[in-house]
Amino acid sequence: HKYVYDFSEGNKDLKDLLGGKGANLAEMTNLGLPVPPGFTITTEACKAYLATGSEPPGLADQIAAHLAALEAEMGRRLGDPDDPLLVSVRSGAKFSMPGMMETVLNVGLNDRSVIGLARQADGNDRFAWDSYRRLIQMFGKTVCEVPGEEFEHALDEAKRAKGTTDDLDLNADDLRGLVDAYKKIFNKHTGREFPQEPREQLDLAIRAVFESWNADRAVLYRRQERIPADLGTAVNVVAMVFGNLGADSGTGVAFTRDPGSGAQGIYGDYLANAQGEDVVAGIRNTVPLQELERLDKRSYDELLGIMARLEEHYRDLCDIEFTIERGKLWMLQTRVGKRTAAAAFVIAGQLVDEGLIDLDEALHRVNGAQLAQLMFPRFQLDHEFEPVAKGIGASPGAASGKVVFTSARAVELAAEGEPVILVRRETNPDDLNGMIAARGILTSRGGKTSHAAVVARGMGKTCVSGADEIDVNVPQKRFTVGGHTVREGDLVSIDGTTGKVYLGEVPVSPSEVVQYFEGSLDPEQTDDALVRAVHRIMTHADSRRRLAVRTNADTGADAARARRFGAEGIGLCRTEHMFLGDRRELVERLILARTDGERESALAALLPLQRADFVEIFEEMNGLPVTVRLIDPPLHEFLPPLEQLAVNVAVAQERGQDVAQEEALLDAVRRMHEQNPMLGLRGVRLGLVIPGLFAMQVRAIVEAAVDCARRGVVARPEIMVPLVGAVQELETVRAEAEKIIAEVVGDSGVEVLIGTMIEVPRAALTAGQIAEAAQFFSFGTNDLTQMGWGFSRDDVEGAFFWRYLELGIFGISPFESIDREGVGRLVRIAAEEGRAARPELKLGVCGEHGGDPESVHFFHEVGLDYVSCSPFRVPVARLEAGRASV
Ligand code: ADP
Ligand code: MG
Ligand code: MG
């Protein structure tokens, strides 16, 4: 079995076998670029080692053979006392992973070869001892788990003794002394001497790389990122080149374009007389890469040539690591580089212009999560605003408002129209109403998976969590931070992307990308490269996608905005908000009605109000379909809370007032109390139990449509029955609705569809029967997830999802992204069996998942006709639907 590949034997497509680093080192070698020679030990060797606890048979021999070839090529032997070959041992999995062992440089140095190295470097003792102390440090830390601080400490000590803060002021003697100190540290922690045998150093380092695949942090990271646990890591053994040989040597990192903005140019950092990670470690100040032109023009020109070549070859932004050894350039790493969301769009557009990729490929180079990021409003920051604290950017966005410390106060102030920021040590389910009312949430404790973070993300609300400099005192209604005291009502601003917290109100502006979607920024006129790129890529996504994109909107204003964002109809218009505000009283009358007459008069009063709402929406969506869901939540949600009512009644009685009305209400609330309201009297069940309720709604919808038609507005209502579990439920509602439709539509030409939500698992499993009575299905994936998993969304997210995420039971909440195997399977079954029964059945989805990138791809695969999501998510869904199609 072949476990070891020379760099000349691999290529960039062998990442599974050679890891990312090894595959790209091989690719560069074969491009003829100056890569120090070396070889890669495969992920298969790693897997075999991990399975049995020892190196697989043949591996040691293959390493020996490749090492011998490397020695022959370099004309040096590993660790030779006179003229040593040194190597680096570098881990490199398919995906780079925090928690795995990184790199050991200068393997092959020992008490004797350090002298030979100095001689080979023209008597540069300093260089040799610096290299040796680095080996002991890296080997000790990564191979033998010696605490890194101890080495750092000894190094600081040596510098202090010398009265300097710069490594370069340490001379050969100082460094020799440091080597002794390091060896003592090594011995103290491992109980053995630092290994002097070069091949033993090499073997131990290789083993440590293998074993680091199962380090706790690596395991956890893989679980959370859903990286398979059985990939293993490769190990690269690379001949050392030295950037620490003097002023004509150095090391650097570079990007082929600006990873921040995507702009073309030269982006990188260089550090003379340095090795390995010194550039990023921030020990000394790096210089901008352009400086290299002055320091070493030949290497600089060669580097620029190589960077251009790599971009053309990889057809993408690359990042690189390089080292210059006495005026000779060496390439040590490249990969397709990470970039910001803005850069991703700009670069994709540029590469199309440059003819390196086509527009389909450009769609693969960006994603909906990046687009969503570009749509958040931003703070207009100037020097006036300095952050007072920094927490975790738990849910992105920019929010300013008055500080409140309780959920109740948040609700009160928000009802007065004040923007509020809810500040808590941490949140719990009691804070839910306050979180809904607030513009943003700030907590002093908890991370990305805390209650506040999870719930805020679910609501799309700005949240900074774990800002631990903030000391929150709820009883006294104030918090302190860095000498400031902030009281209830004071203004603060929080940035949910960066985690920064500001005092006062930082002005917020919509992003350019939103201005473009809103239509206030013309992509043909602007010189904003990002907007032009977004426009171009969105246009292509629209031309490619098969899924239509609708929006969830309950008001004319939402509908209008969504339409500007590209929505092609309304997939979910909830009618329950139409029962709130000053209409509550009418709803109370409906619920309290003791006679048919009382009930009918309450319904008659609601009818014109509902009709007016629908007219507004139909007008905004002129010509586009509008799916209206009949009332869904339990009726007691429209009544005052029990405790409050009880108090009112008691107080009124005390004062000797007439309380008949309140008592009746109280009775009704008691009567309607449910243990599990989400599984109780709601949805279609309400319609079947309360005579005339659905009929009133159907009448309001159809009358509104007819009214529009008379004025030349094309209304296309689709009436949607919620929470159906059995076809008989739907048939009953349908029979009544059809009568009303026939009566109201007359010769107006209005066409009305009747369909149902598929959100109860039983409905999904009997979809073939239900399709007989439904002209469309809309998957309510929120409830389907809730009932499919048996999770009460309002209760579980804050209660234990953090633990599930931590344990890797799921990598993302199933309410955020559809659970393909379970809930997704219900969708698939219902789609197939529904279509089998009624081929022209329209299929859509209206849960939160409709705007989630991963889920959009799933709905595309399952063959739905459209997804529907909140207005702000419409562009994201358009983009992802396009990406799913290419
Ligand atoms: P990481 O994955 O953390 O970037 P690397 O394996 O790339 O780890 O190595 C860390 C540092 O050591 C990098 O700066 C790299 O350029 C440098 N390095 C690795 N191998 C060699 C080598 N053979 N000669 C000189 N420098 C090297
Ligand atoms: Mg690297
Ligand atoms: Mg539902």
The string of DSSP codes covering 808-854 is TS-SS-TTTS--TTTHHHHHHHHHHHHHHH-TT-EEEE-SGGGG-HH
* Beta-carbon count within 10 A of 88 CB: 22
pLDDT, tens digit, 9 for 90 and up, residues 523-537: 999 989 999 999 999
pLDDT, tens digit, 9 for 90 and up, residues 133-147: 999 999 999 999 999
What ligand has the least distance to the C-alpha of 276? 1
Q: What is the rounded average pLDDT of the residues 13-41?
A: 97
What ipTM goes with this model? 0.96
Rounded CA-CA distance 538/566 in Å is 10
Quote the ligand 2 centre to 281 CA distance (angstroms): 13
Structural class in CATH, domain 4-239? alpha beta
The residue among 244 and 363 whose pLDDT is bigger is 363
Q: Which atom of ligand 1 is nearest to the CA of 103?
A: 6
Query: What pLDDT was estimated at residue 403?
Result: 97
Q: Contact, 392 vs 499, CB < 8 A?
A: yes
Helix (H) or strand (E) holding 329: strand 328-336
What ligand has the least distance to the C-alpha of 574? 3
pLDDT at 653 over 90: no
Assess whether the C-beta atom of 278 lies below 6 angstroms from ligand 1: no
Rounded CA-CA distance 81/680 in Å is 82
Helices (H) and strands (E) in the chain, counts: 35, 33
User: Which residues are the active-site residues?
Assistant: 451, 846
pLDDT at 515 over 90: yes
Q: Contact, 429 vs 451, CB < 8 A?
A: yes
Q: Contact, 822 vs 855, CB < 8 A?
A: no
Residue extent(s) of CATH 3.30.470.20 domains in the chain: 250-336
Bridge partners (DSSP) listed for residue 104? 89
Rounded CA-CA distance 170/180 in Å is 15
Q: How confident is the model at residue 754 (pLDDT cuts 50, 70, 90)?
A: very high
pLDDT at 798 over 80: no
Q: Contact, 626 vs 705, CB < 8 A?
A: no
pLDDT at 882 over 80: yes
Laid out side by side, the sheet with 250-257 consists of 287-288, 264-272, 250-257, 318-325, 328-336
Rounded CA-CA distance 132/109 in Å is 6
Q: How confident is the model at residue 281 (pLDDT cuts 50, 70, 90)?
A: low
E strands of 215-326, at which residues?
Answer: 233-239, 250-257, 264-272, 287-288, 318-325
Quote the ligand 1 centre to 691 CA distance (angstroms): 75
pLDDT, tens digit, 9 for 90 and up, residues 207-224: 999 999 998 888 877 876
Within 8 A by CB and 6+ apart from 673, the residues are 636, 642
Q: Contact, 113 vs 79, CB < 8 A?
A: yes
Long-range contacts of 141-150 (CB under 8 A, 24+ apart): 142/101, 142/102, 142/103, 142/104, 142/208, 142/212, 143/101, 143/104, 143/204, 143/205, 143/208, 144/186, 144/189, 144/190, 144/208, 145/189, 146/185, 146/186, 146/189, 146/190, 147/189, 150/185, 150/189
**CATH level 3 topology of 545-634+674-885:** TIM Barrel (3.20.20)
Dihedral sign from CA coordinates of 875, 880, 881, 882: positive
Q: Which atom of ligand 1 is nearest to the CA of 96?
A: 2
pLDDT, tens digit, 9 for 90 and up, residues 690-740: 999 999 999 999 999 999 999 999 999 999 999 999 999 999 999 999 999
Query: Tokens in use for 675?
Result: 């243990």
Q: What is the rounded average pLDDT of the residues 742-749?
A: 95
Quote the ligand 1 centre to 482 CA distance (angstroms): 40
Query: What pLDDT was estimated at residue 280?
Result: 67
Q: What percent of the chain has pLDDT over 70?
A: 99
Among 242, 333, 334, name the best residue to mutate to test ligand 1's pocket (greatest count of ligand atoms within 8 A of Cβ).
333
Q: What is the rounded average pLDDT of the residues 413-433?
A: 89
Query: What pLDDT was estimated at residue 668?
Result: 83
Phi-psi region of 728 (alpha: psi -120 to 50; beta: other; left: phi over 0): alpha
Bridge partners (DSSP) listed for residue 389? 501
Nearest residue (by CA) to ligand 1, atom 3, is 102
Q: What is the rounded average pLDDT of the residues 462-469?
A: 93
Query: What pLDDT was estimated at residue 449?
Result: 63
Residue extent(s) of CATH 3.30.1490.20 domains in the chain: 4-239
Q: What is the rounded average pLDDT of the residues 754-775?
A: 98
Q: Which atom of ligand 1 is nearest to the CA of 332?
A: 16
Structural class in CATH, domain 250-336? alpha beta
DSSP of 107-175: ET--TTHHHHHHHHTTT-HHHHHHHHHHHHHHIIIIIT---HHHHHHHHHHHHHHHT-S-GGG--HHHH
Say what the pTM is.
Answer: 0.85
Q: What is the rounded average pLDDT of the residues 322-334?
A: 97
Q: Classify domain 377-509 by CATH number.
A: 3.50.30.10
Query: Tokens in use for 318?
Result: 């690359």
Rounded CA-CA distance 588/593 in Å is 8
Q: How confident is the model at residue 282 (pLDDT cuts 50, 70, 90)?
A: low
Q: Contact, 452 vs 426, CB < 8 A?
A: yes
Q: Which atom of ligand 1 is nearest to the CA of 236?
A: 6
What distance separates the 2 farthest-apart alpha carbons in the chain?
107
Query: What pLDDT was estimated at residue 58?
Result: 96
Assess whether the C-beta atom of 113 lies below 6 angstroms from ligand 1: no
Assess whether the C-beta atom of 806 lies below 6 angstroms from ligand 1: no
Residue extent(s) of CATH 3.50.30.10 domains in the chain: 377-509
* Beta-carbon count within 10 A of 813 CB: 21
Assess whether the C-beta atom of 100 lies below 6 angstroms from ligand 1: no
Residue extent(s) of CATH 3.20.20.60 domains in the chain: 545-634+674-885
The residue among 308 and 261 whose pLDDT is bigger is 308
